[in-house]
Amino acid sequence: QVQLQESGPGLVKPSQTLSLTCTVSGGSITTGYYYWNWIRQPPGKGLEWMGAIFYSGRTYYYSPSLKSRTSISRDTSKNQFTLQLSSVTPEDTAVYYCARSAYYTGSYVGYVEVWGQGTLVTVSS
């Protein structure tokens, strides 16, 4: 059974870069035609899909509203994929989730079949 676990700092200062890692166990990120996603939920708001990397590592997808600040990468030797969000502001405070889907989700997170537990990142000076 595949499991996902987010890790990274819980507090980031404004204008800095937020970096999170998702460690996958019980399955490989390089097989299975899966999409490996990053999704966030600001306090009191709904889920927001941020981007994804396809299992092949050759295709990346980003939310248009975040594309200029977002970068997703992977380390196949560690079975991990990462999120970097630059120039953060307090509006980027959210619970950040990594997740697996069998289909491209875009704004429809209903295709997500496996979620990490989520990690709260607060942007504050």
- Tens-of-pLDDT digits for all 125 residues of the chain? 999 999 999 999 999 999 999 999 999 999 889 999 999 999 999 999 999 999 999 999 999 999 999 999 999 999 999 999 999 999 999 999 999 999 998 878 889 999 999 999 999 99
CA–CA distances in Å: residue 109 to residues 28, 56, 77, 79, 115: 21, 21, 28, 23, 11
* pLDDT score at 107: 79
Asked if 5 contacts 25 with a C-beta cutoff of 8 angstroms, the reply is yes
Number of Cβ within 10 Å of residue 19's Cβ equals 16
CB-based burial, 65-82: b 16+ in 10 Å, e otherwise: ebeebbebebeeeebbbb
Residue 58: per-residue pLDDT: 92
DSSP 106: T
Three-state DSSP at 110 gives helix
Residue 79 has a pLDDT of 97
As a whole number of angstroms, the distance between CA 61 and CA 73 comes to 11
Cα separation, 78 vs 58, in Å, equals 18
